[in-house]
């Protein structure tokens, strides 16, 4: 099956709060978009593999987010759950051009 990338506009880069998550709803999919203190924008599925906690509302430290439900630590870069817990969330590519933030979603 052919897969195409859909480019989704999230909003202005300058409007994204630093070290906080933003929930982006695309049909049935929820994505948590984070602007890190390094200025990078990262996006992962807004659903903790543990009990489905909304990661966009978690606490952001460096390149990790702590799930607000039971404090699982998850990398916003590669989606890996940190030890001693285990698991992985889906990651999404992001693009920033002219203060516009885009998500690239596989269709």
Partner 1 sequence: MPKQKLILIGNGMAGIRAIEEILKLKPNDFDITVFGSEPYPNYNRIQLSKVLQGDTDVSDITLNEWQWYEDNNIRLYPGETVMKIDKQKQIVYTDKDREEAYDQLIIATGSNPFMLPLPGADKEGVTAFRDIKDCEKMIDYSKKHKRAAVIGGGLLGLEAARGLLNLGMDVDVIHLSDFLMERQLDRAAGELLQKELEAQGMNFLLEKQTAEITGKKHVTGLKFNDGGKIAADLVVMAVGIKPNIALAKENGIEVNRGIVVNDFMETDVPNIYAVGECAEHRQMVYGLVAPLYEQGQALAKRICGVDAEQGYQGSVLSTQLKVSGVDVFSTGKINEDKSSKAIKVFDEWRGTYKKLIVDEGKLAGAVLFGDTKDGNRLLSFIKKGANVEEYLDAGQSEESGVDLVAGMPDDEIICGCNGVSKGTIVDAIKNDSLTTVEQVKGCTNASRSCGTCKSLVSDLLEYTLGDDYADNQEESICGCTTLTKDEVIAEIKDKGLTHTREVMNVLGWKTEEGCSKCKPALNYYMGMLNPIEYEDEKESRFVNERMHANIQKDGTYSVVPRMYGGVTNSKDLRKIADVADKYEVGMIKLTGGQRIDLLGIQKQDLPSIWADLDMPSGSAYAKGLRTVKTCVGANFCRFGTQDSVGMGIDLEKKFEGLNTPHKIKMSVSACPRNCAEGGVKDVGVIGLDGVWEIHVAGNGGTHLRKADLLCKVKTSEELMEIVGAYLQYYRETANYLERTSAWVERVGIDHVKEVVVDDKKKRDELNERMDLALSAVQEPWGEAIKNETLLKELYEKVNVPTASK
Q: Is residue 99 near partner 1 by the rule CB under 8 A? A: no
- Residue 25 in contact with residue 103, Cβ under 8 Å? no
15/44 Cα distance (integer angstroms): 19
Q: Is residue 100 near partner 1 by the rule CB under 8 A? A: no
User: Least Å distance between CB 48 and partner 1?
Assistant: 10
Residue from the set 2, 25, 39, 98 that interacts with partner 1 by CB under 8 A = 25
Q: Is residue 83 near partner 1 by the rule CB under 8 A? A: yes
- Residue 94 in contact with residue 42, Cβ under 8 Å? yes
27 φψ region: left (φ > 0), alpha (ψ -120 to 50), beta (else): left
Q: Is residue 79 near partner 1 by the rule CB under 8 A? A: no
Beta bridge partners of 11: 101
- Residue 22 in contact with residue 56, Cβ under 8 Å? yes
Residue from the set 5, 9, 95, 106 that interacts with partner 1 by CB under 8 A = 9
Contacts to partner 1 by CB under 8 A: 6, 8-11, 15, 17-20, 22-27, 33, 37, 50-54, 57-62, 66, 68-69, 71, 73, 83-84, 86, 107
């Amino acid at each position: 099956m052919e897969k195409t990338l859909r480019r989704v506009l999230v909003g202005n880069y300058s409007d994204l709060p630093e070290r906080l998550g933003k929930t982006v709803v695309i049909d049935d999919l929820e994505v948590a978009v984070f602007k890190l203190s390094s200025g990078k924008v990262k996006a992962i599925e807004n659903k903790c593999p543990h009990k489905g906690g909304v990661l966009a509302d978690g606490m952001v430290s460096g390149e990790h987010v702590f799930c607000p439900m039971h404090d699982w630590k998850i990398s916003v870069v590669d989606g890996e759950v940190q030890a001693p817990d285990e698991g992985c969330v889906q990651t999404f590519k992001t693009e920033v051009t002219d203060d516009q933030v885009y998500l690239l979603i596989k269709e």
